[in-house]
Structure 1
Amino acid sequence: MTGETWRDHRVDIEERLDALIAEMSPEEKIAQLGSYWADQRSSDEIIAPMQDVFSEGRPSFDRAVRDGIGQLTRVFGTSPVTAAEGMERIRTAQRQLVSGTRLGIPAIVHEECLTGFTTLGATVYPTALAWGATFDPDLVAEMARAIGRDMAAVGVHQGLSPVLDVVADYRWGRVEETMGEDPYVVATLASAYVEGLQESGVIATLKHFAGHASSRGGRNHAPVSMGERELRDLVLPPFEMAVRSARARSVMNSYTETDRVPAAADRWLLTDLLRGEWGFEGTVVSDYWAVAFLKSKHGVAGTMAEAGRLAIHAGLDVELPDSSAFLELHADDPDPQRTSADIDTALRRVLRHKIELGLLDEGWAPAEPADHDLDSPENRSIARRLAEKSIVLLENSGAALPLAARTPRIAVIGPCVDDPSAMMGAYSYPVHVLPRHPQFGLGIEAESLPEALRAQFPGAEVVVERGCPLQTPGDDLELMRAEQAAKTADVAVVVVGDHAGMFGKGTSGEGSDAPSLDLPGDQVRLVERILASGTPVVLVVLSGRPYALGRFVGRAAAIVQAFMPGVEGAGALARVLSGAVNPSGHLPVQVPHGAAALPHTYLAPPLGQDGDRISNLSIAPAFPFGHGLSYTSFEVSGLALDRAEMPTDATVTAVVTVANTGARHGETVVQLYSADPVAQVTRPVRQLVGYARVALDAGETTRVSFRLHADRFSFTGLSRRRIVEPGEIRLSAGLSVGELAQTATVVLTGATREVAHPVLRTEVA
């Protein structure tokens, strides 16, 4: 087959690929595995690690794409452009590729989309950690569909989201980008995001594969100290579900190295596991400059050519954000035949995406520029509902919440209370890009918490004081003003926590790792002074990670946790404080009691749990995983199983009763945990195996059933293979891992079974 038959959409895709690849020169093949970033910023404007180093000497677009190009990097997300301006830039670039190169192959356009489409004027949704707090896959999928529609409308084909990293250390700066510390919650929410984005015609990219959140000491880019069993059982399950079940079409490698092997050069990870075991057929794209890092940071390659060959042999298909190492693949190549075969393999995957996207069809042309509304009322509605469902009421011991409708004077105190951008994550456009373009402000309409409280309490006097800076030591005069404001108020809403920023320019975000889990700067001192004022204190933690709050438990009248709830976050918080919205979020991470003990997630095996009195450092949390209160009350009872025994390849159904025992409508999250008390390797003391978000009127009762295949109790055994082992499994139900009112036991019978294609989801009804 020759000529232009590869442009005929009626021809079988494999035949089209064969025809096109046969026509391509070696240079044209390599060009399709690279990318181009038209980035002209200075070294103090970086938004990616070591961007200033690798951006030096970038060729012009004309020169870079003379043989074509695989991807265009962040046309919308680099510097401020309107929808129409960004579309015009894409159209100009794509026209040059179509008419100015021999084969005329358009590029895939990719953008960031972690908290929404990362561009000027687009809706900023809550951070992924806030999604985790909703325990609501359907709402996450609805958000992803909206993000995908906006991106597809302006000519974007691939989104670099979601993040599937499972939190292992709360000090890590990118905790805000994750969906929490439980692999099943991350897996189900991430899969919902993938399905929503791809339903809108945009390729989802799973990241960071794998172990990025497990770096030593919670430090960005640090090595990972983890064996294969822990990797398989705690880190990889979200990726597996998103690949096998949600059919994600792209994966991005992690910057980290595990057992001394960098992910970008790990053939076991990128090929044997991802493709061989899981059947992944899409593309693996590099995190920005990860291929070059094989030489400059990891030291496993002596030249850029060697770095490129290591990556492509491992199974990495596309180099982002620029072409560098892959351009030198054939330089001093000791095995050119092998390299050529690797190139053809990667090329086939890349071109398959382009065919599936319609880019290679006869007559394809980029969309005409138009002023698309990227912050529509529909988007705002989704952002508002996500924000409201993500807010967690941790404590209400003083019954201060909801605030009385006629509260005369409210003091709002905290270092970022009057800054709406404090509601937004590090990968939101207002935080990620616009600080370098102050003339645009936030680029989007957003209110601060004091403004939202004034709207919610129109008769109240709302007084605002900073109290202290976010990170640096404060002065006594500023602290005294805040204390005086509290003393003369009926309630003090003290807002502490983070402001997102990249590489140390904030207290949360990529490269903004925490030295401890105490609140940053003088914020602990601020809270103590306001507590001492005698005025009831509602402590609002607005953060990208959980902070140690044990010293405030029982002393604040109420404690509320919000994980950067986005552009609608201020209004959502005000409505929760007023009672207009009944809080229903539950913790996707634990809240530590003290900052001195090493960070700890609930999934530790027995030796890692508190209670054995083997150390003077307690790691018991202030608030456990899954915790979340309401302005009504709920009760879980009557856990029953449909069988007492089951073979290791069968299913069991657990049914519980959930009742709203309070006086108003509310929502909660009923949770089902399993425990495997005796196994051939150590297992978590408890692990979430199912959850359901339940809405009930006052006095209403419902039954929730969880149907679990025995695969849901599988783990990686001594043989390093996934197995289901006979023995006792204890199932417990409740409203958090620390509040499990009901327990029942099922015994698995028969021989130990190896599991090749596991049932990954628990069916809920």
Structure 2
Amino acid sequence: MTLAQKTAQLVGLWAGARRDDNAAPMQDQLIADGMHVDEFAAHGLGQLTRHWGTTPIAVEAGTAELRRRQAALAERTGIRALVHEECLTGVLAWGATTYPTPLAWGAAFDPELTERLGRRIGDDLRALGVHQGLGPVLDVVRDARWGRVEECIAEDPFTVGVVGSAYVRGLESAGVVATLKHFAGYSGSRAGRNHAPVSVGPRELADVHLPPFERAIRAGARSVMNAYNDVDGVPAAGSADLLTGTLRDRWGFDGTVVADYFAVRFLETMHGVAADGEDAAVLALSAGIDVELPTGSDYLAPLVAAVESGRIDESLIDRALRRVLRQKLDLGLLGAAEPEGDPTVDLDSAANRALAREMADASIVLLQNDGVLPLDAGRTPRLAVVGPNADRFGAVFGCYSFVKHVLPRHPEVDPLIAAPTVAEALRGRWPGEVDVVEGCAVMDDDVSGIDAAVAAATAADVVVAVMGDDSGMFGRGTSGEGCDREDLSLPGVQEQLLHALVETGRPVVLVLLTGRPYALGAAADRCAAVVQAFFPGQEGGPAIVDALLGVTSPSGRLPVQMPRPGTPQPGSYLAPKLGSLTGVSSADPTPRHPFGHGLGYTTFVREGLSVAETRVAVDGVVEAEVTVRNAGDREGADVLQVYASDPAAQVVRPLRQLVAFRKVPLASGEAQTWRVSIPAAAFAFTGVAGHRIVEPGRIVLRVAADAADEGQAIEIDLIGDVQRVDVIADEPVWERRG
């Protein structure tokens, strides 16, 4: 292959699915006006960027266009392009089912369900001729003010790793390359600002940010995407230590590393560690980025110039090329063109919607309830449904949904999917009167609608107040990429509206549709019930109504703790002793609701915690048993949560950390006994010498309702010499015993 042919395989092209074949708007700097895609790809093409997720295009037309482009590439070079697409809330395509956000997957605490979700999304991607999905996001939530919290799974690295790995297995089982992002440390940005510098130490990076990626690579992920941030002054896109030393040399990863969009150029324009595009290309390729996305600004002419001038050896291009071609060979993209894509695929099938509903049901978290829920039309016949998210179509969608990511540029286009609002779903189910009043908008400071909302509340028996976020991109929303918050109060004048509603004396059920946890104040304390849903997708409205009416029993748990007003940020349940409430600081980090919190319409009793052996080798396995019983008169599902504490370690450790969880559905009165086998390596941490170790000594295991619950505790002793651990611990194995 010529040098031009080689570099052509290392770039993407963001041409979208435009009928005129012109470059997408963001590519104006890279392709002269009027340049044809075929001209850009004269020497070949590595990837087609977001063929489906750039503009609205029907399946039949999009499939025909994709086949034409791939056939032209095959005829010219014998190598077709790998097609990639976003897949955080489903396939980013016009009319495709929109599922709950990843934060809802975390709230569901159900890896098996998440794996089924990944498989279904993967099947639809392959039906569209897509080979690579840009997901899952494995950033561990560290600061709730960060706009991309909605794209994350949890604030706990174990939960992120287990649930994220399940999604990876689902995508990969469908033949789709899963892309782990953003590697690494992105969510640790200063003050929760997007792209901001990250100042974590090597131990926090190793014990919090990296483990989910290592676990997901073991689960079979074939691609990794770099993070935009720098870590202690070194941008991830130019970090050989991260992209080669950690990822490949230590973990043995042999897939491809792709650049987050424009990350190579950002080495010059945002980070200032490169003088120009050639500098940026040399730095990124040397560090280990194989493919420049979404475009070919720096890996084409600038990289060729660097080789010809002797600044970089061509062997580094060959290194990346081998990885790219090996993956294309596995995907069947070498040789004669095979028609890909099914022009008849139904992207919003009944099966898709059923799965979207199942995930929405499983992820709803009941935070508080004085007995008003489930709603009873016999006792409270008249409802007032109030709030900016009560009857707004976009309220249930995250920023990487087609509705929020693409359609704002096409306001005239029908979204092609149904997403009943909470108000619409209640109108269809409630036998009594339902008055709907907006009260205020999500973001602005207009209070003129509050009086009408108060009047409706006063005339009602129960008020359902639906509030929260409006997801968007780069400041065009209250949640989403680039929509970071200075504080965690509800946006706009929603707190004022909520205060006015509770002042009526009517029972208020607060329903939160958000992409992050908010710091609820005194008005929420006075609510009869509070329900949290993290952008539950197109089936979210009916799922919420079923939870309110008791058709389903809420079984979600908080994947992120919910702060109080004034709770210091950033915050995490993974706090050591001096990171929790102490007498040496007046700032109280105690959350309103802890990680793992969630109620239902029944009561669960966890009892009989025992271990097979109280002395376990540092390279052994802890076997614990516990019985969970549904002591109420309704069916429901509990989430068994097992936490570990290390009272005396060679470095500062969290007071407790989740090491196992299991969602357990139970009928009324039913009891189940479960055994969980937890490798001692699950208690590993990065020691003083900088290596991951299991240290002999006392470990306290606790089965609890959440991260703050005392629950049941039992002590074990790890025995033997300090054990160095080079591979992340296997996932715990759960076995039902009775």
Q: Is the 8 A contact 1:733 1:743 kept in 2?
A: yes
2-structure distance, mates of 1:441, 1:47: 21
What SS class does the counterpart of residue 106 from structure 1 fall into?
coil
Query: Given residue 690 of structure 2, which amino acid in structure 1 is its aligned partner?
Result: R
Partner of 1:668: 638
Partner of 1:314: 287
Q: Is the 8 A contact 2:356 2:537 kept in 1?
A: yes
Q: Is the 8 A contact 1:270 1:315 kept in 2?
A: yes
What SS class does the counterpart of residue 630 from structure 1 fall into?
coil
Query: Given residue 274 of structure 2, which amino acid in structure 1 is its aligned partner?
Result: A
Query: Which segment drifts farther, 53-62 or 285-294?
Result: 53-62
Aligned partner of 1:72 among 40, 48, 53? 48
The residue correspondences of 1:30-69 to structure 2 (distance < 5 A) are 30-38=7-15, 51=26, 57=32, 59-69=35-45
> 1:421: how far off?
1.5
Partner of 2:111: 137
1-structure distance, mates of 2:698, 2:721: 14
Partner of 2:494: 523
Query: Given residue 28 of structure 1, which amino acid in structure 2 is its aligned partner?
Result: Q
Partner of 1:259: 232
Partner of 1:279: 252
Pairing 1:564–2:535 present: yes
2-structure distance, mates of 1:578, 1:440: 34
Superimposed CA distance per residue, residues 564-586 of structure 1 (whole angstroms, 9 cap, x where no aligned partner): 10000000000000000111000
Q: Is the 8 A contact 1:47 1:433 kept in 2?
A: no
Q: Is the 8 A contact 1:110 1:159 kept in 2?
A: yes
> 1:86: how far off?
1.3
Task: Go from structure 1 to structure 2 and tell me whether the alpha carbon gap of 1:617 and 1:148 turns closer, same or farther (over 3 Å shift).
Answer: same
Task: Go from structure 1 to structure 2 and tell me whether the alpha carbon gap of 1:332 and 1:644 turns closer, same or farther (over 3 Å shift).
Answer: closer
What SS class does the counterpart of residue 501 from structure 2 fall into?
helix
Aligned partner of 2:561 among 580, 590, 593? 590
Aligned partner of 1:290 among 226, 239, 263? 263
Superimposed CA distance per residue, residues 77-134 of structure 1 (whole angstroms, 9 cap, x where no aligned partner): 00000111111121121121122x2x22100001101000001000000000000000
Pairing 1:97–2:73 present: yes
Superimposed CA distance per residue, residues 690-743 of structure 1 (whole angstroms, 9 cap, x where no aligned partner): 000001111111112221111000001111110011111011101111223100
RMSD, matched Cα: 1.7
Pairing 1:374–2:347 present: yes
Query: Given residue 186 of structure 2, which amino acid in structure 1 is its aligned partner?
Result: H
Superimposed CA distance per residue, residues 508-530 of structure 1 (whole angstroms, 9 cap, x where no aligned partner): 00000011000001011110000
Partner of 2:124: 150
> 1:416: how far off?
2.3
Partner of 2:144: 170
What SS class does the counterpart of residue 705 from structure 2 fall into?
strand
Q: Is the 8 A contact 2:388 2:440 kept in 1?
A: yes
Structure 2: state its 5+ residue gaps: none
> 1:753: how far off?
1.2
Q: Is the 8 A contact 1:518 1:595 kept in 2?
A: no
> 1:619: how far off?
1.2
> 1:591: how far off?
0.5
Q: Is the 8 A contact 1:593 1:621 kept in 2?
A: yes
Pairing 1:541–2:512 present: yes
Partner of 2:458: 487
Aligned partner of 2:376 among 400, 404, 416? 404
Partner of 2:398: 425
Query: Given residue 401 of structure 1, which amino acid in structure 2 is its aligned partner?
Result: L
What SS class does the counterpart of residue 378 from structure 1 fall into?
helix
Q: Is the 8 A contact 1:420 1:570 kept in 2?
A: no
Superimposed CA distance per residue, residues 656-702 of structure 1 (whole angstroms, 9 cap, x where no aligned partner): 11110100111010100000111111111100000000011111111
Pairing 1:268–2:241 present: yes
What SS class does the counterpart of residue 163 from structure 1 fall into?
coil
> 1:148: how far off?
0.7
Aligned partner of 1:439 among 412, 424, 428? 412
1-structure distance, mates of 2:588, 2:389: 31
Query: Given residue 619 of structure 1, which amino acid in structure 2 is its aligned partner?
Result: P
Task: Go from structure 1 to structure 2 and tell me whether the alpha carbon gap of 1:84 and 1:40 turns closer, same or farther (over 3 Å shift).
Answer: closer
2-structure distance, mates of 1:185, 1:330: 43
2-structure distance, mates of 1:741, 1:332: 62
Pairing 1:653–2:627 present: no
Q: Is the 8 A contact 1:494 1:540 kept in 2?
A: yes
1-structure distance, mates of 2:24, 2:166: 28
Partner of 2:222: 249
Partner of 2:171: 197
Query: Given residue 574 of structure 1, which amino acid in structure 2 is its aligned partner?
Result: V
Pairing 1:466–2:466 present: no
Partner of 2:365: 392
1-structure distance, mates of 2:199, 2:158: 22
> 1:53: how far off?
7.8
Q: Is the 8 A contact 1:133 1:586 kept in 2?
A: yes
Superimposed CA distance per residue, residues 126-182 of structure 1 (whole angstroms, 9 cap, x where no aligned partner): 000000000001111111111111110121111101100000000000000000100
Task: Go from structure 1 to structure 2 and tell me whether the alpha carbon gap of 1:608 and 1:123 turns closer, same or farther (over 3 Å shift).
Answer: same
> 1:335: how far off?
7.3
Query: Given residue 239 of structure 1, which amino acid in structure 2 is its aligned partner?
Result: F
Q: Is the 8 A contact 1:553 1:622 kept in 2?
A: no
What SS class does the counterpart of residue 144 from structure 2 fall into?
coil
Query: Given residue 446 of structure 2, which amino acid in structure 1 is its aligned partner?
Result: G
Task: Go from structure 1 to structure 2 and tell me whether the alpha carbon gap of 1:56 and 1:614 turns closer, same or farther (over 3 Å shift).
Answer: farther
2-structure distance, mates of 1:462, 1:201: 47
Superimposed CA distance per residue, residues 235-256 of structure 1 (whole angstroms, 9 cap, x where no aligned partner): 1111000012x11000000001
Query: Given residue 65 of structure 1, which amino acid in structure 2 is its aligned partner?
Result: A
Partner of 1:499: 470
User: What is the TM-score when the length of structure 1 is the normalising length?
Assistant: 0.93
Partner of 2:183: 209
Query: Which segment drifts farther, 402-411 or 309-318?
Result: 402-411
2-structure distance, mates of 1:438, 1:241: 41
Structure 1: state its 5+ residue gaps: 1-23
Aligned partner of 1:188 among 162, 167, 179? 162
Query: Which segment drifts farther, 535-544 or 548-557?
Result: 548-557
2-structure distance, mates of 1:146, 1:40: 23
> 1:763: how far off?
1.3
> 1:464: how far off?
1.0
Query: Given residue 669 of structure 2, which amino acid in structure 1 is its aligned partner?
Result: G
User: What is the TM-score when the length of structure 2 is the normalising length?
Assistant: 0.96
1-structure distance, mates of 2:701, 2:724: 22
Query: Given residue 470 of structure 1, which amino acid in structure 2 is its aligned partner?
Result: V
What SS class does the counterpart of residue 294 from structure 1 fall into?
helix
Aligned partner of 2:665 among 688, 695, 712? 695
Q: Is the 8 A contact 1:647 1:749 kept in 2?
A: yes
2-structure distance, mates of 1:627, 1:687: 15
2-structure distance, mates of 1:112, 1:47: 16
Superimposed CA distance per residue, residues 505-553 of structure 1 (whole angstroms, 9 cap, x where no aligned partner): 1100000001100000101111000010111000111100000024245
Q: Is the 8 A contact 2:609 2:625 kept in 1?
A: yes
Partner of 1:623: 593
Identity percentage of aligned residues:
49
Q: Is the 8 A contact 2:16 2:24 kept in 1?
A: no
Query: Which segment drifts farther, 755-764 or 672-681?
Result: 755-764
> 1:554: how far off?
3.8
What SS class does the counterpart of residue 72 from structure 2 fall into?
helix
> 1:57: how far off?
4.5
Aligned partner of 2:135 among 148, 161, 184? 161
Task: Go from structure 1 to structure 2 and tell me whether the alpha carbon gap of 1:484 and 1:680 turns closer, same or farther (over 3 Å shift).
Answer: same
* Equivalent residues, number: 728
Task: Go from structure 1 to structure 2 and tell me whether the alpha carbon gap of 1:332 and 1:321 turns closer, same or farther (over 3 Å shift).
Answer: closer
Partner of 1:238: 212
> 1:56: how far off?
7.2
